[in-house]
Amino acid sequence: MPTYFIDYETLVLEVYHQKKANNELLPGLRILRPAKLKEACEWVCNDRFERNDEQTIRNFFGRSGNQKECLNAIQRCEIDKFRPIINFLNGDTSKTDEKNIELLAWLIDFKERPFDPNKIYSGTFSGDAGKVTAGEENQGAESSIPNTPPTLDNQEDVSVEPVNQGESGAPDEEKQPEGISEEVIPAESDKLKWQTRSTAIAVILLSIIGAGGYWWLNNRGTNGIGGCMYWTGDHYESVACSPRPDKALVVPLDTVMVKYFRKITVPDTITNRAKGRVWYSKINNKVEFYTSDGYHPIVTSHHLKPLSDHIIATYIYPGMTVN
């Protein structure tokens, strides 16, 4: 029986939200940013490259082959290509391309990837993303039932003994033992199966609701404006997801970055005690300092580095010995 991609997509998203709630996602998927998604792809290609993922890699990155070609294709990919996936997972868009869903399935190690129209993806996942669905089990049960009922020709001869009759000529009724009711009592195993299934469904629903609530609380704007942010020059501000008049780069909202990521405009306030709490960038021999780890807000492909004694002695207090 053929199935539809939307069933596959629904199951992939359920596994994604479940792993997110259990903190089982790769670091690049926990905070959705284009550069981090690209890093996650490089990690997966290095750690668990598989031949059955070649079509997924080719569809998204344009080419594939062996593991080395996979890494080259990922490294040449522009980070803006990952934004549609982020917008979809953040709820900014209701639909996305099938190749984006397949890439997500690859990143979260969805066991039933890639999509196969001959598989049944209905029902909820269990363990390794529900390898056998309820639909497949029912099909197997139906196929084992014969199409035609047995006839008397196929049965063995059965001898019939006359029923004992009382004086009235009516058959004797079987006597029920005292204390036993005729009510049918369901088997304990059926009760246990139903309770287990009900508990599993409840846990899955609560996990999905909890993951959705967690996402909403961590991705709503700090001032209720919208689901994006832009760099003002020394910090991020949350804004609506629409182009800015000043043509500033608008990126998906990260509430942690809005609250804690700042550019340090007076570097001479930095001391040796700031190591571990200050990061820096060096681009075209220009050094800048920031209050949090991450990527440069303008040159988004440049990852910030932790402050070191060498940087303090060279660019903040040149000529002085750092204790």
Out of 109, 134, 159, a domain closes at 134
Longest dimension (CA), the chain: 125
pLDDT tens sequence across 34-50:
999 999 999 999 888 88
Give a yes or no: residue 230 inside a domain: no
pTM more than 0.75: no
Give a yes or no: residue 74 inside a domain: yes
Which pLDDT score, from 0 to 100, does residue 249 have? 86
Give a yes or no: residue 246 inside a domain: no
Does 180 score more than 50 pLDDT? no
Out of 82, 108, 134, a domain closes at 134
Q: Kindly give the pairing relationship between strand 228-231 and strand 236-239.
A: antiparallel
Out of 134, 155, 177, a domain closes at 134
Give a yes or no: residue 27 inside a domain: yes
Residue numbers of the domain that contains 112: 5-134
Contact at 8 Å (CB) between 225 and 244?
Answer: no
Give a yes or no: residue 287 inside a domain: yes
pLDDT tens sequence across 105-137:
999 999 989 898 888 776 555 554 434 344 444
Q: How confident is the model at residue 263 (pLDDT cuts 50, 70, 90)?
A: very high
Which pLDDT score, from 0 to 100, does residue 117 have? 84
The structural domain count of the chain equals 2
Taking residues 188-211, report their average pLDDT.
Answer: 77
Among the ranges given (62-71, 81-90, 301-310), the one the predictor scored with the smallest mean pLDDT:
62-71
**Rounded-to-integer distance, Cα 230 and Cα 234, Å:** 11
What residues are paired with 228 via a beta bridge? 239, 252
Does 218 score more than 60 pLDDT? no
Give a yes or no: residue 123 inside a domain: yes
Give a yes or no: residue 15 inside a domain: yes
Give a yes or no: residue 89 inside a domain: yes
